[in-house]
Structure 1
């Protein structure tokens, strides 16, 4: 039997998001980003930490499980009994024919979905844009908070910029000047989470964040996971949403 993503992370199929995240972090803690296992563990986390993708994956696993067949009742054998032959109703054959035709048509329609090449090109462009956006969007300097805010603005959609500015004011503006905190973010690795069309793409990023403050001159580095939703606006990929774990 092929190992599942649950097997890979050594968690129960009913594990909570927190349990999956903890298992994923433990699995990659000692691995180099260039290690093949690092990418495999990240792929598992991408699926299992995304509710929609996890639900689809669970459904796929369920479909792969062999169905239990109820044993046929034995037919008494007599000297004159002829073997029973199961007759398939005509409506069943017709239904199977229609289902087959529908699957063929569906496959043809899927093949004509927005050009695979276009979606792939868009995904790569969005991924590159997300990697460029992460440092300015997730970094700040207590000595120049306005400069930090301005540096990030160029990478955000208008809607998300308002949301980030509000968070910046409530959290960073209130605390950073007192603590003298400087946060510098860099990308370790990234991959595509979802690219359903060529205008909106989700990108999964693994980043390092080095923090210093008045009491801590040596940078303390924390590795964390970020999901960025990238949206194409006037041929430019901008951050439309972001989740940091």
Structure 2
């Protein structure tokens, strides 16, 4: 073997060894990097968890703020709910008021029918008790006026032996509130006396105002329109 061949062989051997050493160094670096990465990850699990928790908290905070932010649709729905509640309350109040007035009107109507019969039914044979019944169902100026008129008319009714009987033909509520009602009544009145023993029928239209006093409906005004 000549010198040139030996030199070429030596150079090839050096190149091969150099390449091998370079490959070993690359493998060592890669292994070190891998060990470093795995070591860092295993060495600080708390740091990773903190980062994850922080990200999760940030997401929740963002969602929380977005949840409280007014949205057009949410605002409209809330407005509709409020309006519905208010309307329901107003409607309930009006319905209760109307029911109360209707109940008051019906009670006043029943009392007015009974009182119209008492007012138009007078018998001279027991005139004092009849007058007392009429005064018991009256109030205010009408009671005062009837009391004065009855005292003046009583002697004449007794002398004529007058008897009158009233019958309510129809009645209706004209207006009503919690404590007052106006009732329209149609009353047929049969009258007999010494001069006219045969009953004479008088048909009357009576407008009666009823006031609630201490829980009782009493006549405060009687008109013949």
Q: TM range, normalised to the smaller chain?
A: 0.5 to 0.7
Structure 2 CA distance for partners of 1:167 and 1:113, relative to 1, 3 Å: farther
Please give the alpha-carbon distance, in whole angstroms, between the structure 1 residues aligned to 2:141 and 2:222. Answer: 12
Higher helix share: 2
Please give the alpha-carbon distance, in whole angstroms, between the structure 2 residues aligned to 1:174 and 1:138. Answer: 17
Of the three residues 116, 123, 138, the one matched with 2:105 is: 123
Task: Note the aligned Cα RMSD (angstroms).
Answer: 2.1
Please give the alpha-carbon distance, in whole angstroms, between the structure 2 residues aligned to 1:204 and 1:191. Answer: 5
Matched, 1:164 2:146: yes
- CA offset at residue 154 of structure 1? 2.3
C-alpha contact 2:141 2:221 (8 A) present in aligned 1: no
C-alpha contact 2:135 2:146 (8 A) present in aligned 1: no
C-alpha contact 1:207 1:223 (8 A) present in aligned 2: yes
User: TM-score, length-normalised on structure 1?
Assistant: 0.51
Structure number with greater Rg is: 2
Equivalent residue number for residue 179 of structure 1:
160
Structure 2 CA distance for partners of 1:184 and 1:227, relative to 1, 3 Å: same
Equivalent residue number for residue 135 of structure 1:
117
User: TM-score, length-normalised on structure 2?
Assistant: 0.55
Give 3-state SS (helix, strand or coil) of 2:190's partner.
Answer: strand
Equivalent residue number for residue 41 of structure 2:
none
Please give the alpha-carbon distance, in whole angstroms, between the structure 1 residues aligned to 2:196 and 2:125. Answer: 16
C-alpha contact 1:137 1:155 (8 A) present in aligned 2: no
Q: Deviations over 1:157-208 (max 9, x none)?
A: 25432221112123x224212322111111100011122x210000000001
Structure 1 alignment gaps of length 5 or more: 1-107
C-alpha contact 1:202 1:229 (8 A) present in aligned 2: yes
- CA offset at residue 112 of structure 1? 4.6
Length, aligned pairs only: 135
C-alpha contact 2:168 2:187 (8 A) present in aligned 1: yes
Equivalent residue number for residue 193 of structure 2:
213
C-alpha contact 2:187 2:203 (8 A) present in aligned 1: yes
